[in-house]
Amino acid sequence: MEEVDVLSLREAFSRQGIMLGFNGPFSATLMEEIGKALRKHMEGLSESPSAITDVFSAYIELSQNIRHYAASSGVSGAAAEATIIVSRDEAGHYVVSAGNVVLHDDGEALVARIGELAALDRAALKAAFKTQMRQPRDPQAKTGAGLGLIDLARRASQPLACSVKTLDPQHAFFSLRVVI
């Protein structure tokens, strides 16, 4: 294994405008604490409550999607882990990126769904959100019933971007980037 080089990691973080990053297994409590830190940091930068809400929301929806997926998918081990990054791009936009290990087919289904959402304008996204909200809920389901991705697309200033990279015949690494 490569030796940890803290300085080069720090330099990579700085180069990519990364404010806050997490990689590894994460609990609900840890997720809340990171979210709290993110809000405090943005308040310190005197960002508007709306901007803070959008970034915080993207962070929460992405992390909860990953935790729900890990709990339901039967992907063991690495699936309970996530990589979540909050950064700023050259234009000053906040960017929330997240990735996790998924089953191949699940990854492909997500790419297709995100492609559909990318084609929708604001009004169509709002309509999609309301339609999805009215879908009958599985009594066993604990999640927002597919609302998360639409909500992310609505808060983003650009279409959602995602990628799937094959890890082995069953698994792939799915990542999603939300520019606020």
Partner 1 sequence: MNDFEIPATESTPLIRTDRTAGRLEMSGDSYPENSFELFQPVIDWLAGFLDQVLQPLTLELKLMYLNTSSVRAMMDIFDALQDAHERGQAVTVNWRYDRDNERVADLAAEFKEDYTFPFEIIPGS
**Contact letters for partner 1, residues 75-114 (x by CB under 8 A):** ----------------------------------------
CA atoms within 13 A on the CB side of 149: 22
* Count of residues touching partner 1 (by CB under 8 A): 27
CB of 120 to partner 1, least distance (A): 16
If one asks whether residue 56 binds partner 1 (CB under 8 A), the answer comes out as yes
Cα(80)–Cα(101) distance, integer angstroms:
8
> What is the rounded CA–CA span in Å between residue 4 and residue 128?
45
| 165 belongs to the binding site for partner 1 (CB under 8 A) | no
Separation CA 131–CA 134 (nearest Å): 5
CA distance 165 to 175: 9
**Contacting positions for partner 1 (CB under 8 A):** 28, 32, 36, 48-50, 53-54, 56-57, 60-61, 64, 67-68, 126, 130, 133-134, 137, 142-145, 147-148, 151
